[in-house]
């Protein structure tokens, strides 16, 4: 009776497994029709339509409208706000006033938040066949204080030295060429302190759909006298409450010996009335003939954990929770020694899971776990594994590829789920951790002492760790292969071999992606050591075989809600790969979230991140 269950997931995953790259083309298609859907524009919500060129002219990009600045009489910045929700603006000037005001409202609303910010950057080098490919990478993870002066605290110790400059106090200051983690978080806002008509000109461009959301597009340029480091680019403003939903551009002018990155910043409507900064894509570099640019890179910044509690001490120590006291043992006896040992391990496991969740590093239990658990269950059932407690799974919200286990909980990182090409590969990486559990390689019982849970969120990586000794690693790998060979995945281990080969190929240049923070690394010193018995399995890697997908780009499978950290599996329709350059294993791509308004149930294939440079471009 349990066996049908794995067939079900197999099917479930199969549909996903086809490939990620999907979202891209679909979005590209979305972008097209957007500019001119003038007819529905006019009808629904009468608003800014009256402004001018918008509704009637299908080619909305005609006259750039009078929006710009020459509206000094519109000096009613304070008067306007009160009317905001009801009165629809009738001119583009009023629209500008509204989104400036909404931007200030957002800055205020988020000022007591300290979300997690992750930036993953890949330096690029040109490959004759594959185009720009990663040559090195960098990883930053921190908490961002969105108060008065935006600031970051890093989870990763080694970053602190380069970081101790404490950088700028606020957004208006400048940063240098070096990859400063804060630099990538800049574009959460266009201009934190001076986003107004005194410093900027605004030019209406056209209407455009971003996903399900109709937007008005404005170019934003700093005035001559505005000073350095001002936002220069374009904003997309949704047409109901006039919140900025996307920013794209850079800062200008740059100081000498420095430059500002180009960024594309997306917001999601995760709570009523506000669109919160969620994804930022940055890219620099040019590989066209004749150009010599050493600064080529692409980077993804993700922000989540907006709803996390601020980790101040008072809060930490008053979080005493009295769970319902239950005595479910039929013979109210003391625990036997073995029972006591298990209780103790369970307590440690619960502590760790709770602490990691509170630090914004673990997604709360959810739908994605059900899929992962089914895969684990498939391995268990077919191997007749009967554990005293069920194995649970959780998703680590970060990009580096890692798994670890604590007690009976297997943790797998979002980045790793993203890049795995199919269910068999997922089963393979989970089987290693299941093997640790089956073999009793339990780590972490020391975390049953609650004092060991009292540390700052940023201190998580210094205080927690679940690395096994090499002997246990080898034993787990051996056992894992055994488990796999008895499982429904036995016939698909060629795919696992291919994945390991693809990983090996990039292991030397992606050391940051392969640097684990809590568990054992999949590769060390540029050599993949996980499941090495399967590494030679399957065919050779072949870029020319377009149907051979050994590993996926980052960001295509798991969608995280930046407000509450819930993670779900993306069901994006497959997009055909048309050249070897479309494969992009382990690579960073631009973001193209399908925007939707809060509460509107997003279509099942509402793609999250991912997008691919179309081969045509």
336 φ/ψ sector (left φ>0, alpha ψ -120 to 50, else beta): beta
If the CB atoms of residues 27 and 431 are measured against Zn ion, the closer one turns out to be: 431
Backbone angles phi, psi at 298, to 5 degrees: -135, 150
d(CA 82, CA 86): 9
Site residue total, Zn ion (CB under 5 A): 4
d(CA 7, CA 3): 7
Task: Take residue 270 and report the two structure tokens written for it.
Answer: 């995760």
If the CB atoms of residues 188 and 437 are measured against Zn ion, the closer one turns out to be: 437
Region 87-106 residues binding Zn ion, contact defined as CB under 5 A: none
Q: Is 413 in the site for Zn ion (CB under 5 A)?
A: no
From 252-260, 337-345, 453-461, 469-477, span contacting Zn ion (CB under 5 A) = 469-477
Q: Is 351 in the site for Zn ion (CB under 5 A)?
A: no
If the CB atoms of residues 473 and 582 are measured against Zn ion, the closer one turns out to be: 473
Place of tokens 């240098």: 176
Strands 523-524 and 409-413, bridge-based pairing: unpaired
From 407-415, 453-461, 483-491, 519-527, span contacting Zn ion (CB under 5 A) = 519-527
Taking the complex as a whole, the smallest distance from the CB of residue 528 to Zn ion amounts, in Å, to 14
Taking the complex as a whole, the smallest distance from the CB of residue 381 to Zn ion amounts, in Å, to 22
- Buried (b) or exposed (e) across 526-543, using 16+ Cβ within 10 A? eebbbbeebbebbeebee
From 138-146, 214-222, 244-252, 512-520, span contacting Zn ion (CB under 5 A) = 512-520
Taking the complex as a whole, the smallest distance from the CB of residue 343 to Zn ion amounts, in Å, to 24
Q: Is residue 385 a contact partner of residue 486, using CB atoms and an 8 Å limit?
A: no
What angle (nearest 5°) sits at the alpha carbon of residue 211, between those of residues 209 and 214? 35
Q: What is the DSSP letter of 455?
A: S
Taking the complex as a whole, the smallest distance from the CB of residue 496 to Zn ion amounts, in Å, to 16
Taking the complex as a whole, the smallest distance from the CB of residue 411 to Zn ion amounts, in Å, to 12
If the CB atoms of residues 215 and 520 are measured against Zn ion, the closer one turns out to be: 520
If the CB atoms of residues 151 and 473 are measured against Zn ion, the closer one turns out to be: 473
Closest CA to 359 of 396, 393, 330, 331: 396
Q: Is 520 in the site for Zn ion (CB under 5 A)?
A: yes
Taking the complex as a whole, the smallest distance from the CB of residue 532 to Zn ion amounts, in Å, to 13
If the CB atoms of residues 393 and 520 are measured against Zn ion, the closer one turns out to be: 520
Strands 200-210 and 244-252, bridge-based pairing: unpaired
Residue nearest to Zn ion (CB): 520
If the CB atoms of residues 219 and 473 are measured against Zn ion, the closer one turns out to be: 473
Alpha-helical (H) ranges within 299-413 are 313-317, 337-358, 367-382
Taking the complex as a whole, the smallest distance from the CB of residue 256 to Zn ion amounts, in Å, to 50
From 134-142, 261-269, 516-524, 535-543, span contacting Zn ion (CB under 5 A) = 516-524
Q: Is residue 607 a contact partner of residue 572, using CB atoms and an 8 Å limit?
A: yes
Stretch 558-577: interaction string toward Zn ion, x if CB under 5 A: --------------------
From 64-72, 118-126, 238-246, 513-521, span contacting Zn ion (CB under 5 A) = 513-521
Query: What separation in angstroms does the CA of 235 have from each of 80, 88, 189, 263, 264?
Result: 21, 20, 11, 12, 10
If the CB atoms of residues 353 and 607 are measured against Zn ion, the closer one turns out to be: 353
Cβ atoms within 10 Å of 465's Cβ, excluding its own: 14
If the CB atoms of residues 104 and 468 are measured against Zn ion, the closer one turns out to be: 468
Region 439-468 residues binding Zn ion, contact defined as CB under 5 A: 468
Taking the complex as a whole, the smallest distance from the CB of residue 430 to Zn ion amounts, in Å, to 11
If the CB atoms of residues 402 and 457 are measured against Zn ion, the closer one turns out to be: 402
What angle (nearest 5°) sits at the alpha carbon of residue 186, between those of residues 227 and 461? 145
Sheet with 116-127: strands ordered across: 151-154, 131-145, 116-127, 297-304, 274-284, 262-271, 244-252, 230-238, 213-222, 200-210
Residues lying near Zn ion in the complex (CB under 5 A): 468, 473, 476, 520
């Amino acid at each position: 009776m349990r066996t049908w269950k794995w067939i079900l997931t197999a099917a479930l995953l199969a549909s996903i497994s086809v490939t990620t790259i999907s979202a891209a083309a679909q979005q590209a298609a979305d972008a097209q029709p957007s500019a001119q859907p003038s007819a529905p524009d006019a009808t629904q919500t009468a608003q800014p339509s009256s402004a001018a060129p918008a509704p009637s002219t299908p080619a909305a990009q005609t006259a750039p409208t009078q929006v710009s600045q020459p509206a000094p009489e519109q000096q009613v910045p304070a008067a306007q706000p009160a009317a905001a929700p009801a009165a629809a603006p009738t001119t583009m000037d009023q629209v500008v006033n509204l989104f400036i005001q909404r931007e200030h409202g957002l800055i205020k609303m988020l000022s007591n938040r300290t979300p997690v910010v992750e930036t993953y950057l890949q330096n690029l080098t040109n490959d004759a066949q594959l185009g720009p490919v990663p040559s090195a990478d960098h990883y930053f993870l921190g908490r961002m204080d969105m108060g008065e002066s935006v600031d970051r605290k890093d989870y990763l110790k080694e970053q602190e030295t380069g970081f101790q400059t404490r950088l700028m106090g606020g957004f208006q200051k400048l940063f240098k060429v070096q990859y400063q983690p804060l630099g990538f978080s800049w574009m959460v806002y266009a201009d934190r302190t001076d986003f107004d008509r005194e410093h900027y000109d605004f030019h209406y461009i056209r209407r455009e759909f971003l996903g399900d959301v109709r937007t008005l597009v404005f170019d934003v340029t700093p005035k001559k006298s505005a000073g350095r480091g001002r936002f220069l680019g374009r904003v997309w403003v949704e047409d109901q409450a006039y919140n900025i939903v996307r920013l794209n551009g850079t800062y200008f002018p740059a100081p000498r010996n420095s430059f500002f990155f180009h960024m594309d910043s997306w917001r999601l409507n995760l709570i009523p009335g506000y669109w919160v900064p969620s994804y930022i894509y940055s890219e620099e570099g040019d590989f066209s003939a004749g150009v010599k640019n050493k600064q080529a890179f692409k980077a993804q910044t993700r922000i989540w954990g907006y709803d996390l509690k601020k980790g101040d001490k008072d809060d930490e120590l008053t979080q005493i929770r009295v769970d319902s006291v239950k005595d479910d043992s039929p013979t109210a006896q003391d625990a036997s020694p073995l029972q006591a040992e298990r209780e103790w391990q369970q307590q440690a496991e619960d502590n760790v899971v709770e602490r990691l969740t509170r630090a914004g590093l673990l997604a709360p239990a959810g739908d994605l776990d059900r899929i992962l658990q089914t895969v684990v269950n498939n391995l268990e059932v077919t191997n007749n594994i009967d554990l005293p407690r069920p194995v649970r799974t959780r998703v680590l919200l970060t990009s580096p590829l890692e798994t670890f286990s604590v007690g009976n909980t297997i943790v797998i990182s979002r980045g790793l789920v993203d890049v795995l090409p199919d269910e068999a590969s997922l089963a393979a990486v989970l089987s290693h951790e299941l093997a640790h559990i089956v073999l009793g390689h339990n780590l972490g019982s020391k975390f049953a002492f609650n004092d060991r849970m009292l540390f700052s969120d940023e201190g998580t990586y210094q205080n927690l760790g679940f690395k096994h000794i090499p002997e246990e690693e080898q034993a787990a790998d051996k056992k894992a292969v055994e488990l796999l060979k008895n499982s429904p995945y036995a016939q698909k281990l060629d795919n696992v071999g291919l994945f390991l080969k693809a990983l090996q190929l990039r292991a030397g240049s992606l050391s940051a992606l392969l640097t684990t923070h809590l568990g054992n690394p999949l590769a060390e010193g540029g050599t993949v050591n996980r499941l090495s018995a399967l590494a030679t399995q399957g065919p050779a890697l072949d870029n020319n075989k377009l149907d051979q997908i050994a590993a996926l780009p980052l960001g295509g499978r798991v969608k995280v809600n930046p407000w509450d950290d819930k993670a779900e599996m993306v069901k994006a329709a497959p997009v055909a790969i048309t050249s070897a350059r479309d494969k992009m294993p382990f690579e960073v791509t631009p973001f193209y979230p399908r925007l939707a308004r809060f509460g509107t149930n997003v279509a099942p294939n509402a793609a999250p991140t991912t997008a691919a440079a179309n081969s045509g471009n």
